[in-house]
Structure 1
Amino acid sequence: MAGKRSPWGKPGSGDDGNGQSGSGDGSNGGGIGGEPGGGGDDAPRGPRNPWLPGGGSGDGDTPDRPRRSASIEDLFRNRGPEGPRRGGGSGGPGFRIPQRPGGKSWFPLAIAAIVLVWIGVSSIHFVQPREQGVVTWFGGKFSDTLDPGTNATMPWPIQMVDIENVSQIRSEEIPGDTNEKLILTSDQNLVDLSYLIRWNIKDLSLYRYQLADPNDTMREVAEATMRAAVAEHELDTVLTGAGRAEIEQQVLSNMQAILDAYRSGIAVQGIEINKTDPPARVEEAFKDVSSAQQDADAAMNRARADAQQWLNRAQGDAEEFIQIYDQYRLAPEVTRRRLYYETMESVLSGTDKTIVEADGVTPYLPLPELRRRTREAAATPPATGGQ
């Protein structure tokens, strides 16, 4: 069909139905959309790239301007006088930093302000009264320590500062779990003992850089000193309150001496023994022994109380005899009669006989019998008459 435009290229000059193209003069070969006719054997053949702009006025596929290859940039390229651009809406210029009145950029001043703020923030450090800081070069090598107050250092990351509360009382419990901590006493007995260590940081630089692990070192020193102290006391002393206080003071002094020799920077504030029990395997037998010991102690206490009572009574009798003897020396006759009367009164007060020594009176009167009959008559109820 002559004069019809091919969808894959420029319009042909004609088709005779046998696959051969006829010759056209281009004047009558105007295609759709104003594309010029391409009649001629030298015109390019093949499918047309649908993503390229259409032909016309030297912008199409002509012999003097060959067809361009397809590129992914052609899909996103925004053609303009300044070359390819990717944003900006409808071909306008992109975002630009505002300029100063003199035409210079604000960018150098903004960078300088950020640097000044960074230096001020990372160089000034405020240390609280209960705190202490340690300064390091690039986070590794130790440089200096910071005392409470306002301090200045090199900016980060040249010098780094780590602040820590050195006055805070920390606690470490040993053994720290439900396991037994058996320690041997001087009388070859085992005791399950747990205790608490209260400590704080004395020197932050020594605490951080002198020992590889100061907390583990402190635990090991505490266990060694506690075993040494308990080994010097018997089991009964360890179980009592006075023995515990003595062991705690001994462990505190020895532990602090060892930590100072290690230059650990740790100050031990106190040792508190929480539990002193026999091993679980012999706890029942230990309870029986303790119960027997308590019974024996109770019997001994009762015996001591009775002995003290008899001793006090004997001392009182002896004191009374001494006082009577002193009175007897002052008036022997009067004292002799008084002693005789008191003795006879104490002896005869328990008898049923009454003896009266007087003229004209019967030596014996059955007064106790009369009193007994009087009491019986008073206790017998009166008989009631029958109806």
Structure 2
Amino acid sequence: MAGKRNPWGKPTGDGGRGGGNDGGGGDGSDGDDTSPSGSDGPRNPWLPGGGSGDNGAKNGERPRRSANIEDIFRNRGPEGPRRGGSGGGGPNFRMPERPGGGSWFPIAMIAIVAVWVATTSVHFIQPREQGVVTWMGGQYSRTLNPGTEFTAPFPFQTVNVLDVSEIRLEEIGAGGENLILTGDQNLVDLSYLVRWNIKDLVQYQFELGDPIETVQEVAESAMRESIAETNLDTVLSGSGRAQVESRVRQRMQSILDAYDAGIAVQGVEIARTEAPQQVIEAFNDVLAARQNAEQLMNDARRYEQQMLAQAQGSAAEFNEIYGQYRLAPEVTRRRLYYETMETVLRGTDKTIIEADGVTPYLPLPEVQRRAQNSRSAITVTPQEGQ
């Protein structure tokens, strides 16, 4: 251990035990002037007081010893480190006093309570809103109408304010496929929008556990029931949609009133009606065939109307001729005969003559065509010198 330095003193000599055992302050009495205070070694920073190492022991002072936990807290009283000596510390904290010497604490507490009562007891209800007042246990107390209202402070009374005039929207079936069975055993992918608002705030808050979920389930039930009473063509047509929307709204309102839900259904609007994705091609073919059938039916009705008008015109003409026939039967008969024969023989190219000495058959149309061809073949050439 020779040459080893004690962390609290000088290097130990042959004695080996140095001053490490006499309190850890110095390690010999032969003195070392390397310390600023002329002590034999560095001062122990954990010792109380301001001792000067072994020099103090040489002068008849009590040797230093290691500090313990009692020494650390002995210098501290209930109000912090003691003044004077080696113990430091700032002044004790005390609340400021009133001019008369009293404490500000009661006044501060009264101000806090006043602000708490003012902020939780006074309520400003807007024109489109209503508020429901409940006691601590959730029991209904009263309803607040638009204006300035007063209640007991929180937590004795609680106020829940809602806008009862706001039109809320619930879109059903827009996020995915929503298949509904029609009355003619067809499937239709349908999405629709429900508009509703609050008509009784007390029923809305106390009779329903989840108002939004209730509206969605009631709308789906009413829509499926209405579509099951309608065939596919009616659902796809514009007029059919209007009828379905009206029935769904009426059924929804009836169910919600039976629940005492406090909800008014303002309207139902069908947004999409399509065939399922699995049969969309076949469905489009069916629609195309139906459109062709409707077009052919329209053409047949148009032809029927034309023929009917023509028959009615012919009947009117016959009645007119019959009136003339009754006035002059012989003349009318001859006239009808000539007109009929003219109509019959107008398209024939044969001429028959009943006379003696005359060829009974003359191909007059063929003779006329040959004459026309011969006239068109004759060309006139100019003479020389002209």
What TM bracket, shorter-length normalisation? 0.5 to 0.7
Q: Distance in 1 between matches of 2:75 and 2:382?
A: 148
Residue number in structure 1 paired with 2:48: 52
Over 3 Å counting, the alpha-carbon distance change for 1:248 and 1:85 in structure 2 is farther
> Is the counterpart of residue 87 in structure 1 residue 90 in structure 2?
yes
Q: Point out where structure 2 has 5 or more consecutive residues left out of the alignment.
A: 1-18, 38-42, 53-59, 350-363
CA RMSD of aligned residues (A): 4.8
Partners of 1:139 and 1:160 within 8 A in 2: no
Compute the displacement of 1:140 (Å): 3.2
Residue number in structure 2 paired with 1:71: 72
Partners of 2:76 and 2:82 within 8 A in 1: no
Q: How many pairs are equivalent?
A: 330
Partners of 1:139 and 1:159 within 8 A in 2: no
Spell out, residue by residue over 1:367-387, the C-alpha distance to the aligned partner (whole angstroms, 9 max, x if none). Answer: xx99x9999989999756789
> Is the counterpart of residue 270 in structure 1 residue 272 in structure 2?
no
Q: Distance in 1 between matches of 2:263 and 2:244?
A: 21
The structure 1 residue matched to 2:314, chosen from 308, 312, 317, is 317
Q: Distance in 1 between matches of 2:214 and 2:115?
A: 42
Q: Distance in 1 between matches of 2:195 and 2:115?
A: 42
Spell out, residue by residue over 1:195-223, the C-alpha distance to the aligned partner (whole angstroms, 9 max, x if none). Answer: 22111122222222212222222222222
Over 3 Å counting, the alpha-carbon distance change for 1:86 and 1:170 in structure 2 is farther
Letter in 2 for 1:247: V
Residue number in structure 2 paired with 1:145: 143
Q: Point out where structure 1 has 5 or more consecutive residues left out of the alignment.
A: 1-5, 18-31, 34-46, 353-365
Residue number in structure 2 paired with 1:103: 101
Compute the displacement of 1:344 (Å): 9.3
Letter in 2 for 1:96: M
Compute the displacement of 1:79 (Å): 2.7
- Correspondence 1:1-387 to 2 at 5 A: 50-54=46-50, 69-72=70-73, 74=75, 77-80=80-83, 86-88=89-91, 94=93, 96-100=95-99, 102-138=100-136, 140-179=138-177, 181-323=178-320, 343=339
Letter in 2 for 1:156: F
Q: Under a length normalisation based on structure 1, what TM-score does the superposition of the two structures give?
A: 0.67
Spell out, residue by residue over 1:219-278, the C-alpha distance to the aligned partner (whole angstroms, 9 max, x if none). Answer: 222222222212222222222222222121111111111111111122111111222222
Q: Under a length normalisation based on structure 2, what TM-score does the superposition of the two structures give?
A: 0.67
Counting aligned pairs with the same residue, the percent is 48
Compute the displacement of 1:105 (Å): 3.1
Partners of 1:202 and 1:267 within 8 A in 2: yes
Partners of 2:168 and 2:195 within 8 A in 1: yes
Q: Distance in 1 between matches of 2:257 and 2:88?
A: 72
Letter in 2 for 1:289: V
Q: Distance in 1 between matches of 2:338 and 2:117?
A: 111
Compute the displacement of 1:305 (Å): 0.4
Letter in 1 for 2:173: P
Q: Distance in 2 between matches of 1:95 and 1:243?
A: 83
Over 3 Å counting, the alpha-carbon distance change for 1:374 and 1:268 in structure 2 is same
Partners of 2:325 and 2:333 within 8 A in 1: no
Residue range with higher mean Cα deviation, 186-195 or 263-272 = 186-195
Q: Distance in 1 between matches of 2:377 and 2:129?
A: 95
Residue range with higher mean Cα deviation, 300-309 or 285-294 = 285-294
Compute the displacement of 1:304 (Å): 0.8
Over 3 Å counting, the alpha-carbon distance change for 1:299 and 1:48 in structure 2 is closer
SS in 2 for 1:246: helix
Q: Distance in 1 between matches of 2:314 and 2:300?
A: 21
Letter in 2 for 1:103: G
Letter in 2 for 1:242: S
